[in-house]
Amino acid sequence: MSNVFEVPQAGNDLLEKAEQVRLASIKISQTENKERIKALNFMADYLVKNIEEIFEANNEDYKNAEKKGISKALLSRLKLSKEKLNSGIEGVRKVGDLADPLNQAQIKRELSKGLILERKTVPIGVLGIIFESRPDAVMQISSLAIRSGNGVMLKGGSEANLTNTAIVKALKEGLHESGFDKNAICLLTSRKDSMAMLNLEKYINLIIPRGSNELVKFIQENTRIPVLGHADGICHLFIDYEANLDMALSVALDSKIQYPAACNAIETLLVHKDIAPFFFEKAIPLFNSNDVKLIGDKRSVELGIKYEANVEDWQTEYLDLILSIKIVDDLNEAITHIQKYSSKHTDGIITENLATANKFMNVVDSAGVFHNCSTRFADGFRYGFGAEVGISTQTLPPRGPVGLEGLVTYKYFLKGDGNIVDDFSSGKAIYTHKDI
């Protein structure tokens, strides 16, 4: 992979930008909730004011991309329609409606007379975000960063550079108009700079990559800055022998075809051997009529699946209308397969047996464990978080779909009236540890 990406040293220009964002992030961390909401509205207003300029830039990007022969899928993501832009601008205002993630008291405790401990949420500092070509992401990410009191360094796909530049210009004007330091948002336009960010652990507190699996993996392996995100999304659905057959068919189909390119779509279906003949009888024509290519293990092929799977199929995120299928002897074999191949994103079970469901949900160590519903629900908006920063497949928090709470941390505030530890050693003072 080292021939695809590399991490260069940051140039002086980048270091200066990073320092500016860091200083701006300290200022924004001191602002009131109301001011941040006001800033979001100004940011939206200036996007509206600059709308023609943004469209022009986008047209230019689009023309250049067409010339370069970029794929249709990418072109369609790049294209900023009126609807897309308006809904993006509306999204900026909507982020203002979300609950303030800052200054939330998690602990308030009297440690001793006159000595009060508080743990409160605070911004993380500076976010480094590397994302794909969709230029609407710039608005969404910037508004989430500002809402949570963070500074942000952004790098989008280079084919959208002109569009992103125009959008960021408008966002900065909005920040400035509301009295904020416009350096809180910084756009990088070269791949060299975005990769050099990975070395800036003194300036950047969290990296959020939203791109190809290869890019995310490379970032995870090449920075000491914490990374929020996921590379693969290899999700499984296990059809237990005690499943409701109609439900199994409907949920399996939804989990695969509702949006096959999403990380929460399933790649592998595990089917209990006792239900397999009945399930396959209906599932094969159902998936065929929805253009899903089925690839099965030996036993599945014996039951009518056309293509035989090899070990790579269990490790592949197809992101396409392809589904691998394996017949398993029992719950344990299903769990063992999932433990081996799951990317720990989301794995589900269909069964009417509650004990079976509970065992599955307790033992499978994925961010989401689902019973009798589609894996496609694994999403910040569907979970009711209002906005999604990304989905994390790491074990430690933040895990799963991450909303604004993933963009804050906490710190401990201790206020006393001259308290010293020696008084507790000598017995002159005692701990009360009383939550207040």
Which residues inside 381-400 make contact with a second copy, applying CB under 8 A? Answer: 382-384, 394-397, 399-400
**DSSP β-ladder status, 434-435 and 105-112:** antiparallel
* Rounded least distance, CB 139 to a second copy, Å: 23
* Residue numbers 256-315 binding a second copy by CB under 8 A: 258-259
Q: Is 417 exposed, middle or buried (0-12, 13-18, 19+ CB in 10 A)?
A: exposed
DSSP at 120: E
- Contact window for a second copy (CB under 8 A) among 190-198, 309-317, 324-332, 355-363: 355-363
Could you write out the DSSP letters of every residue in 201-252?
A: TTT-SEEEEES-HHHHHHHHHS-SS-B-S-S---EEEEE-TTS-HHHHHHHH
Q: Which of 286, 321, 322, 363 binds a second copy (CB under 8 A)?
A: 363
CB of 104 to a second copy, least distance (A): 13
Q: Which of 97, 91, 148 is closest to 121 using CA atoms?
A: 148
Q: Which is nearer to a second copy, 304 or 386 (CB)?
A: 386
Interacting residue with a second copy among 309, 328, 370, 402 (CB under 8 A): 370
Q: By C-alpha distance, which of 228, 288, 266 is closest to 373?
A: 266
The CA distance from 266 to 153, in Å, is: 33
Question: How many CB atoms are closer than 10 A to CB 300?
Answer: 24
Distance CA 433, CA 112 (A): 7
224 lies in the binding site for a second copy (CB under 8 A): yes
333 three-state secondary structure: helix
**Which parts of 3-42 interact with a second copy (CB under 8 A)?**
26, 29-30
CB of 85 to a second copy, least distance (A): 23
Applying CB under 8 A, which part among 42-50, 75-83, 281-289, 377-385 lies near a second copy?
A: 377-385
Instruction: Assess 245 for contact with a second copy (CB under 8 A).
Output: no
Any bridge partners for residue 122, and if so which?
409
Give the count of residues interacting with a second copy (CB under 8 A): 71
Nearer CB in complex with a second copy: 146/391: 391
Q: Per CB under 8 A, which of residues 157..196 are in contact with a second copy?
A: none
Binding mask 408-427 for a second copy (x = CB under 8 A): -xxxxxxxxxxxxxx-xx--
Mask of contacts with a second copy, 98-137, x by CB under 8 A? -----------x-x---x-x-x--x-xx------------
Check: CB of residue 348 under 8 Å from CB of residue 255: yes
Site string for a second copy, 61-100 (x = CB under 8 A): ----------------------------------------
Counted residue by residue, the chain has a size of: 436
